Chain A
Amino acid sequence: KAGVTQTPRYLIKTRGQQVTLSCSPISGHRSVSWYQQTPGQGLQFLFEYFSETQRNKGNFPGRFSGRQFSNSRSEMNVSTLELGDSALYLCASSSTGTGFQETQYFGPGTRLLVL
């Protein structure tokens, strides 16, 4: 099975712009979670989608949003970029997102630099 894919891999934006990141989960996986990783805060949960519905959301401002399509592919959007949004954005897929033994598999990430 192909793994989780994310595009683009690298992105440079300026403050005030918006950005859209894409994630394709492992075939058959319907749950997609997004995480932000920064040196200061570590890995933090952004939100999770299943069957085109957001089921869980982390403590991030409303500038961070996402969606999921009927084929389980997901996008996240960050509007009005700030310098502090520079981070590695990771997408993880799992089968249903509800089993406590269920593994989340991470994609390669999108590294976003905001200037």
Chain B
Amino acid sequence: QKEVEQNSGPLSVPEGAIASLNCTYSDRGSQSFFWYRQYSGKSPELIMSIYSNGDKEDGRFTAQLNKASQYVSLLIRDSQPSDSATYLCAVPTWGGATNKLIFGTGTLLAVQP
């Protein structure tokens, strides 16, 4: 089992719809979770971080965390064509003296105008 798993997609949604991106992780001890957005040919940029069970909202983005189910999701409301990108779920894993980010393979989101 991979440490962080995501559906690779592509996930296609019409403009204005809600896009739901999912991520599962294997380490029950994981304490924090990050969503990065990566446009084609660009580097990842942080969208959201979440540390506690429940929902965290930031503008059109909502991150949801369920530690019991080892599941974290990202909802994008009122999806725009500019949201079309690959969304990466990342989980810090303690490795000796520091954290390293373990990334899922990413979900490609395509928002259709």
Give chain A's interface residues, CB within 8 Å of chain B. 31, 33, 35, 42-45, 48, 50, 55-56, 58, 88, 90, 92, 97-109
Contacts and interface: CB of A to CB of B under 8 A. Distances in A.
A55 B46 contact: no
Given A42-B106, A106-B43, A107-B43, A55 B96 contact: yes
Contacts of B32: 100-101
Contact of B101 (A33, A88, A101, A108): A33
B42 A108 contact: yes
Q: Among A101, A107, A108, find the residue whose CB has the most chain B CB atoms closer than 10 A.
A: A101
B13 interface: no
Contacts of A104: 34, 101
B51 A58 contact: no
A90 B34 contact: no
Nearest to A102: B99
B49 A101 contact: yes
Contacts of A58: 100
22 contacts: A33-B100, A42-B104, A42-B106, A43-B44, A43-B103, A48-B100, A55-B97, A58-B100, A90-B43, A97-B98, A98-B98, A99-B99, A100-B94, A101-B31, A101-B51, A102-B92, A103-B46, A104-B34, A105-B46, A106-B45, A107-B43, A108-B42
